[in-house]
Structure 1
């Protein structure tokens, strides 16, 4: 398995209606999170510890909330909020 990110819950539907530039900023940060996880958790499938606490990241035009699930080797984008600026 290898680390990836994906939308979860209603974030995927929200991403379909948000401006493309905003979504590009969210996806760029998500890719950075994936690279961080690859370096931190060399083989996430063997992890037996709790997952790290999720957090919010601010990007141009809004923010998004993510959750890392180490054993699945996934960064889930669980909420996006476009503020329209």
Structure 2
């Protein structure tokens, strides 16, 4: 299994109504988070500690909240907020 990102909870439904330009920024940034998590947690499936704290990321047009789950080798986008700026 390799690292990936995906929408979780209500973020997937919110993504259906968000503008394409905003979503492309969210997805581009999520790809960067995946690369960083993969580099930092080289042996993700063998991880036996607690998962790192997630965070909020500001992107053009709004923001999103993410959580890293190391043993699943996933970065979950748990909330997106389109503000239109």
Q: Quote the Cα distance in structure 2 between the aligned partners of 1:84 and 1:40.
A: 33
Q: Quote the Cα distance in structure 1 between the aligned partners of 2:53 and 2:37.
A: 13
Question: Which residue matches 1:59?
Answer: 59
> Segments of 4+ in structure 1 off by > 2 A?
none
* Superposed displacement of residue 55, structure 1: 0.3
* Superposed displacement of residue 43, structure 1: 1.7
- Provide the alpha-carbon RMSD of the alignment: 0.5
Question: Which residue matches 1:75?
Answer: 75
Q: Quote the Cα distance in structure 2 between the aligned partners of 1:28 and 1:48.
A: 29
Flag structure 2 segments of 5+ consecutive residues without an equivalent: none
Count of aligned residue pairs for this structure pair: 85
TM-score, normalising length: structure 2 = 0.98
Question: Which residue matches 1:35?
Answer: 35
TM-score, normalising length: structure 1 = 0.98
* Superposed displacement of residue 84, structure 1: 1.6
